[in-house]
Structure 1
Amino acid sequence: MNSIMDQLTEEQRKEMERQYAVYTHGTSQVIPGDELKHKIATSIFKNKPLKVKLGLDPSAPDVHVGHTVVLNKLRQFQENGHIIQLIIGDFTGKIGDPTGKSTARVQLTDEEVKRNAGTYLEQFGKVLDQSKVELHYNAAWLSELKFEDVIELAGKITVARLLERDDFENRMKANKPVSLHEFFYPLMQGYDSVHLESDIELGGNDQYFNVLMGRHLQEQFGKEKQVVLMMPLLEGLDGIEKMSKSKGNYIGITEKPSEMYGKAMSIPDELVVKYTELITDLSLEEKLTVRKEIEQEEIHPRTAKMNLAKTIVRMFHGENASEKAEVEFQQIFQQKQLPTDIEEVIWDGDRMVTVPTLIAKLGMLPSTSEARRMVKNGGIKLNEVKVTEVNEEIEVKNGLVIQVGKRKFKKIKLA
């Protein structure tokens, strides 16, 4: 391994160390680090880009900033001229990743896979330069395998190794069924790396077993083994559980600038550094500066959080939108003013309604029962006046401003 290293010029060695520092920063594990250095060195010496893989099962296409942890790492490779291999699991997606599941996943149809894949790619374009991405659908090679090829593939791994997965082990202990086809999910994902001869694969910590399978199978097929970069999972706005749309603790990458900014301002202070390092496009030097300023108390936590919120909005909506979102946030929360661009909605319903009914029909909360709870908790205002009576009817007028919580506003226009 040292032969390439020995042939690097001083300038090339510095470039190798620079790239290595960028790629490893924020990772939870690099398997193994010395091989990553060697791959980078070889790439620089031979002027040959690395092939960096990310596999995606198109099962839940609404992307939030938690998903961008791996995308931002891919972007760092892309900025240095390396090849990004995005693999849409149109074949594996029909089985579904069993990771973290207590039961077998519902298999997706071709139409569902295609629709979800399209949504993924549209949203990923907000982080990656799609013109410089190799897009692959793994049905192109997996559907071509003959049965004897599948048997050969299955012979590359033992049942004992597959049963090391906590998901399978826990289900078997609980006497829950494990279908044979589920064992093939990590094999197929690993075979993607064999077919594409990937140099590096990225994955979240929950994908540890799957991404290591690619490294194992490459060795079994006599190919150079990929290096694996494991990325930490991002806690949501509650600071406790993994970011998830189902838990409501997420920042969606297609949300309005004001909504993104407000949500970012609600994260716990102790997560500002982690968010900055994992989901922003700041340089390594800028990220290290943020960490130093916060750890040494050179910056107020609120200021650091406002800088983070502004950066997130700027990444997905541009500089002007981030400036406007910051001003609006200051108006609402610091100066107690209403936002300047409240969404206007047409109301053609009854002129006299209860507030929970109005809130639910406007879609500001999913149900009248949730709206009632919000009223009881003091979270609903009409024209800046807090609503206190759950069942009292109010008159719906032109220009009526409804506020739900701290960030949702709508203004009534009568039909």
Structure 2
Amino acid sequence: MSVELALEELLDSRVADVFTKDELREKLARSERERRPLRVKLGVDPTAPDIHLGHAVVLRKMRAFQDLGHTGVLIIGDYTAMVGDPSGKNKTRPQLSYDEIEQNAATYKEQVFKILDPERTEIVLNGEWFRKLAFADVLRLASRFTVARLLERDDFEKRLAKQQPISLHEVMYPVMQAYDSVMVRADVELGATEQTFNILMGRQLQEQMGQERQIGLLVPILTGICGTVRMSKSIGNYIGIAESPQEMFGKTMSIPDRLLAEYLRLATDYRPDEVERLERALADGSANPRDVKFQMAKRIVAMYHGEESSELAASDFERVFKRKEAPREMPVIGLSSKDLKEGKIWIAKLLRLANAASSNSNALGLVRQGAVSIDGAPVDAGRPDVAVKSGMTLKVGKRRFFRIEITNDTSD
């Protein structure tokens, strides 16, 4: 592929900004001449266990580089996660324990290859170099930046204006991210638009330390399914790429119609011309938003679970929401007869066994909201001990179904 075609492929409508296009053109041309793949960096902090469609926007851009023969360098920020990236935050983020970070990092490694090419991916933890730095090394690194420059970032300016505190460890975050770029000798760094300042810091530090400046390539931030703020697991407005096909399909169908164009462009693998055609059809009324959303949901599920699972999820969605039936396949809650007392079980225990509630109080809250039913009958909050039999269907919310199976336990 020619350099200009590669540039066109990489800088499609899913890119918000690049600095700079001419530098990227030169790096691609040199890569072609020298037959040396570019090193394309992406840093992710494992502050939550799941990768969602918002993360997938930038991961799929890394895959686009890989498909052109370049190397994806995925930095899992086990050390930077302990700081917490202040980008886009109006207050100090809570710090995670190292055990929490390690557990989350393990799930990232499992999920990331739903998108990336394992043959062209290097995965590194930035603790590999940060834990080796003595305090004198940290001071020398910090001396390459000024406090005035670090406080220029938009998030800090806003917090200073509101007289909100900024912790010193937060100010170090851009320094740490910049040092990552030096350590992996990044040719390109990918990130969402909120990462502009951090990526520019990487360019500055690379130049100071005798390396060629990396290219910054920024992608838009995907709005969450709530339709108001960015997709985030902590807010609960996300679609995880490892969620079940049925859950993924149902969540996609729940997004507001006004987000259709954004999701078509950022969350699917439709070609830009296909997206434009669908956008025109939505704008002139020749396409029904519900039909477009249905096909989009099928496409998104197929991207992460395959065509067969996509068709099954679509069929189940029709069964549940059109014909008001239970899905054909659903997770099983395995109960022992010892879990029951006179054929009944406390509803909070049942919901927790199904992993449908995080605590007893959360479970009882769902019951009070009328979000829990068994075989179509709402569970009465005033009568929390419910009679259950094998084959019954537990429904939680609009989209979560479980089949109850009871085994007779005769052991002592």
TM-score range, shorter chain: 0.7 to 0.9
Corresponding position: 1:242 with 2:233: no
1:327 matched to 2:315? The reply is: yes
Determine the C-alpha separation between the residues in 1 that align with 2:50 and 2:226. Answer: 19
- Structure 1 residues 14-413: aligned runs within 5 Å: 15-99=3-87, 100=89, 102-103=91-92, 105-106=94-95, 108-109=97-98, 111-145=99-133, 149-172=137-160, 178-347=166-335, 348-350=339-341, 351-352=343-344, 359=351, 362-366=354-358, 374=366, 378-385=370-377, 387=378, 389-392=380-383, 394-413=386-405
Report how far residue 162 of structure 1 moved. 0.9
CA offset digits 1:195-248 (Å, max 9, x no partner): 333121111223222122111222333432222112222111111122122222
Aligned length: 401
Task: Give, in angstroms, the shift of residue 87 of structure 1.
Answer: 1.4
C-alpha contact (below 8 Å) 1:72/1:279 kept by paired residues: no
Verify the 8 A CA contact 1:16 1:44 in the aligned structure 2. no
Contact 2:333 2:353 in 1 (8 A): no
User: Residue 405 of structure 1 aligns to which amino acid in structure 2?
Assistant: G
Compared with structure 1, are the counterparts of its residues 21 and 413 closer, same or farther at alpha carbon in structure 2 (3 Å cutoff)? closer
State the AA in 2 paired with 1:103.
T
Q: Aligned AA for 2:396? A: V
Listed as ranges, the gaps of 5+ residues in structure 2 are 408-412
Structure 1, unaligned runs of 5 or more? 1-10
1:70–1:231 CA contact under 8 A, matched in 2: yes
Does the aligned pair in 2 maintain the 1:97–1:105 contact within 8 Å?
no
> Is the partner of 1:134 in helix, strand or coil?
strand
For residues 315-374 of structure 1, what are the alpha-carbon distances to aligned partners after superposition, in whole Å with 9 as ceiling and x for unaligned? 221111111111111112122222112333234323246767754664434456656665
Displacement of 1:56: 2.1
Does structure 1 conserve the Cα–Cα contact (< 8 Å) formed by 2:373 and 2:379? no
Asked whether the equivalents of residues 49 and 83 of structure 1 are also in contact (C-alpha less than 8 Å), the reply is yes
Aligned to 2:189, what secondary structure does the other structure show? Answer: strand
- 1-side partners of 2:267 and 2:363: how far apart? 33
| Cα gap change, 1:220 to 1:20, in 2 (>3 Å) | farther
Counterparts of 1:403 and 1:414, CA distance in 2: 17
Q: Give secondary structure in 2 for the equivalent of 1:67.
A: helix
Deviates further, 179-188 or 141-150: 141-150
What is the DSSP-based 3-state SS (H/G/I as helix, E as strand, rest coil) of the residue aligned with 2:172? helix
Contact 1:72 1:278 in 2 (8 A): no
- Cα distance change, pair 135–342 in 1 and its aligned pair in 2 (3 A): closer
State the distance in 2 between where 1:391 and 1:113 align.
40
Q: Provide the rounded CA distance (Å) in 2 between the counterparts of 1:403 and 1:286.
A: 37
Comparing 358-367 with 324-333, greater Cα deviation is found at 358-367
Deviation at 1:307, TM superposition (A): 1.5
Contact 1:104-1:178 within 8 A present in 2 as well:
no
- Partners of 1:202 and 1:67 in 2: CA distance: 11
Distance 2:358 2:138 in 1: 47
Partner Cα distance (2:234, 2:138) in 1: 36
Counterpart-to-counterpart distance in 1, 2:120 and 2:41: 13
Relative to structure 1, the CA distance from residue 43 to residue 25 in structure 2 (aligned partners, 3 Å threshold; closer, same or farther) is farther
One-letter code aligned to 1:401: T
Match of 1:8 in 2: none
Distance (Å, rounded) in 2 between the aligned partners of 1:325 and 1:202: 32
State the one-letter code of the partner of 2:25.
Answer: K
Amino acid at match of 1:245: K
Q: Secondary structure at the match of 2:312?
A: helix
Q: Secondary structure at the match of 1:102?
A: coil
Larger mean Cα displacement after TM superposition, 265-274 or 376-385 = 376-385
Contact 2:70 2:120 in 1 (8 A): no
CA 1:337–1:50 in structure 2 vs 1: closer, same or farther (change >3 Å)? same
What does the per-residue CA deviation read over 1:240-275, in whole Å, with 9 as the maximum and x for residues that have no partner? 122122222111122111111111111112222222
* Distance in 1 between residues matched to 2:357 and 2:103, nearest whole Å: 27
Q: Deviations over 1:92-117 (max 9, x none)?
A: 334333332523642643x4444332
Match of 2:410 in 1: none
Aligned equivalents of 1:217 and 1:324: distance in 2?
50
Q: Could you tell me how far apart the structure 2 residues matched to 1:375 and 1:237 are?
A: 24
Give, in angstroms, the shift of residue 81 of structure 1.
Answer: 0.8
- The 3 A distance-change label for structure 1 pair 175 and 45 is same
- Secondary structure in 1 matching 2:403: strand
Amino acid at match of 2:288: H
Change (3 A) 1:294 1:142: same
